[in-house]
Amino acid sequence: MDQGESSYRRFLAGDNEGLHEIVCAYRTGLMLYLHSIVRNIHTAEELTEDTFYELMRKRPRFSGRSSFKTWLYAIGHHVAAKYLRKHTKLTAVPLESQEYLADADDLERSIIRSEQKRLLHHAMRRLNPAYRQVLYLSYFEGFSNAEAAEILHRSERQLRDLLYHAKKALKTELERSGFEYED
């Protein structure tokens, strides 16, 4: 039993500290994953809150067929997909104010320190959303192919193919932006 699972079981038994532990342990990674889907850091923050609210309100059953983190990210993926279905029909007007850009850049800089990592993240932003998501889950969050496939609702073979094409597209994008590989 991993830490998230035991905290969730405690929460279900009435210990609210269990939910607090889950939020503290998973909020940053979940928010960055959701950012890779919605491409807006403020919306990703809201969707992260919605994911934890769904845990608190609906108290879904954790079956243990996957790790707790995989299960939680799958819930977050579902919340983001529901948000996108609802909001893609609306005409989106991008908020390009200096304040918004400064907030997003400050948050990114606090998490991403080196210049090479910044280049990597900027290149990933230019990838198609499915490629961004699979790369983020596999390399930044460390999910196995089976876990990432479960989160993205794909077979393992589909995930391997998607990961192959995503890495190839990322390499092309990095080379286009002048990224230099270390020997």
Q: Please report the pLDDT score of residue 183 as a whole number.
A: 46
The 3-state secondary structure of the chain, one letter per residue: CCHHHHHHHHHHCCCHHHHHHHHHHHHHHHHHHHHHHHCCHHHHHHHHHHHHHHHHHHCCCCCCCCCHHHHHHHHHHHHHHHHHHHHCCCCCCCCCCHHHHHHHHHHHHHHCCCHHHHHHHHHHHCCCHHHHHHHHHHHHCCCCHHHHHHHHCCCHHHHHHHHHHHHHHHHHHHHHCCCCCCC
CATH code, domain with 130: 1.10.10.10
Q: Global pTM?
A: 0.66
Q: What is the tens place of the pLDDT at every residue in 109-141?
A: 555 445 666 677 778 888 898 999 998 898 888
CATH code, domain with 3: 1.10.1740.10
Q: Please report the pLDDT score of residue 39 as a whole number.
A: 86
Q: What is the tens place of the pLDDT at every residue in 41-85?
A: 999 999 999 999 999 999 998 888 889 999 999 999 999 999 998
Q: Within a domain: residue 32?
A: yes
pLDDT at 145 over 60: yes
Mean pLDDT, residues 16-36 taken together: 92
pLDDT at 105 over 50: yes
14 and 77, same structural domain?
yes
84 and 10, same structural domain?
yes
